[in-house]
Amino acid sequence: MSGLFQTVMRHRRGSGTTNRSMKWVVILSGSGALRFDDSEEVVELKPGDFINIPAHRKHRVEATDPNEKTVWLAVFYR
């Protein structure tokens, strides 16, 4: 198991990422939106919201709050 604590401010849409491990993400402050390449759905997240992302599922940060730092904790596990 490993973790990542990240602060992002005014994130612009990325090209996406794929992880070999499962990823659990929780929003601590701010807000953000994730998009999965295999879906048109955009998942909106606010403080306290969390999501489990399966291994090998390509995803990207679509946007973050333009007025507040977005802080999230990601835990990678198998």
Residue 55: φ, ψ to 5°: -60, 145
Give the pLDDT score at 8.
Answer: 67
Identify the band that residue 12 occupies on the pLDDT scale cut at 50, 70 and 90.
low
SS3 letters across the chain? CEEEEEEECCCCCCCCECCCCEEEEEEEECCEEEEECCCCCEEEECCCCEEEECCCCCEEEEEECCCCCEEEEEEEEC
The whole-chain average pLDDT of the chain stands at: 88
Domains of the chain: 2-77 (2.60.120.10)
